Amino acid sequence: MLNANWNFDNSYARLPERFFTRIHPTPVSDPELVMLNRSLAEELGLNVEALASEEGVAVFAGNHIPEGAEPLAQAYAGHQFGYFNMLGDGRAILLGEHVNSNGERVDIQLKGSGRTPYSRGGDGRAALGPMLREYIISEAMHALRIPTTRSLAVVTTGEVVIRETELRGAILTRVAASHLRVGTFQYAARFLSKEELQTLADYAIKRHYPNGEHASNRYLFLLEEVMKKQAALVAKWQLVGFIHGVMNTDNMTISGETIDYGPCAFMDVYDPKTVFSSIDTQGRYAYGNQPYIAGWNIARFAESLLPLFHDEEEKAIELAQEVIAPFPTLYETYWLKGMRAKLGLCTEEEEDKKLIGELLHLMHTHRADYTNTFRALTLDEWNFSEKEFRDWHTRWQQRIARQDMKKEEVYEFMRQNNPAIVPRNYRVEEALAAAEQGDNTVMERLLYVLSAPYAYTKEQDEYAKPPAPSDRPYRTFCGT
């Protein structure tokens, strides 16, 4: 048997057992490897040949537990569309934590690996389409330099799952800095003791924010650091037109990674009210709402930590409010810096925010494609005929001219901050449809061009084209 080089050291499994349930994946009948992320495997110090072998596929399928792994399903809670629920890993099992040769620790999780005590009536399984969708989008996000969980492999199970129809079953192997969520802390605060909540917070600090171990109030430090990470993350989402779709508190990580790619998608025509998720009927998680929801989620995180801030509740609330009050300003700082970069602005002027706002207003009014508008500016291929756009373009050029930079340097700077392509929704659907029929070449080609979104190669031109006009709005689904 080939050695895959797994190196498990499972710190989460050493927490009090009320945080999880030890359980093995449910074996599947006939696993087959569909996708293996070779570059990620190499980053993790894993043996690619061993992972692709029959024994390696058995691990990805949950049929074999590698040495050192301690499978468990995590318990957590969360606000789903504003309503609090007890949740947990209903169709995912954490194999354990792999530590590479550089000492970097990551969770290895099987998604779609069978029922757990938290399944709440679900079958614990996943279909091939949604698992490949997460693979594509998470790898695209990584290439876009946006913090994200990643996908190591996808296997089919040889079994069917029942949704609206019979679908091919699949399991995704997800790699994450950790699966600690805001909802993990909400679970501890609601259902466990103060001592167990403190144990969880100390664990999170040690794992993700070790500098906080020496802070005067380590739990306020944790709140502030998580707030910073989330403000920066959501700003990056907005800058590329990414819509998560389900920003429930159980889908918000303490590490600041994007997690749970369910009904996510990328915006074509610029419209802050854009919603793709079929279940978000009220637009709670629309593109334009994402910064506000991030702030709302941070407030829920602060609530869960209140007992650790101060023994007196009123004082604890006061301390928490002082920490989270700057969130809107912090988010705007990250977003404004990113928008300046997209427009080639290396200096700061007071009127920049107005200039950016005017462009977004024009894009909204004239239904301009979000990614391709910035792509056209970057390539100096401005082709809008409307007078309002021409007037804006003149003001933008005048603003650029006030910088001590050559024009070619400005455009090169813009190339580094404006992706030539994003995962166009119709391209993702094409790839998934072909893969469902056993043809992975469409997906592999898509993954290849998405792997270098700032390259501006000729072969990317075809993938930069927006979808054909349609009377039917694009809709995405959770896959559960």
> What is the domain partition of the chain in residue ranges?
12-176, 217-424+465-480, 425-464
User: Band of the pLDDT at 479, cuts 50, 70, 90?
Assistant: low
**What's residue 1's pLDDT?**
63
pLDDT in tens, 51-95: 999 999 999 999 999 999 999 999 999 999 999 999 999 999 999
What residues are annotated to the active site?
A: 250
Specify whether the CB–CB gap between 419 and 144 falls below 8 A: yes
Confidence (pTM): 0.96
User: Band of the pLDDT at 471, cuts 50, 70, 90?
Assistant: low
User: Band of the pLDDT at 475, cuts 50, 70, 90?
Assistant: confident
* Plot region of 260 (φ>0 → left; ψ -120 to 50 → alpha; else → beta): left
Q: How many angstroms separate the CA atoms of 336 and 184, rounded?
A: 31
**What's residue 163's pLDDT?**
86
DSSP string of 316-383, one letter each residue: HHHHHHHHHTTHHHHHHHHHHHHHHHHTT--S--TTHHHHHHHHHHHHHHTT-BHHHHHHHHHTT---
pLDDT in tens, 94-128: 999 999 999 999 999 999 999 999 999 899 999 99
Q: How many angstroms separate the CA atoms of 253 and 227, rounded?
A: 11
User: Band of the pLDDT at 383, cuts 50, 70, 90?
Assistant: confident
pLDDT in tens, 420-440: 999 999 999 999 999 999 999
pLDDT in tens, 149-167: 999 999 999 999 998 889 9
Q: Which helix (H) or strand (E) holds 408?
A: helix 407-415
User: Band of the pLDDT at 384, cuts 50, 70, 90?
Assistant: confident
Q: How many alpha carbons fall within 13 Å on the CB side of residue 302?
A: 23
Specify whether the CB–CB gap between 131 and 111 falls below 8 A: yes
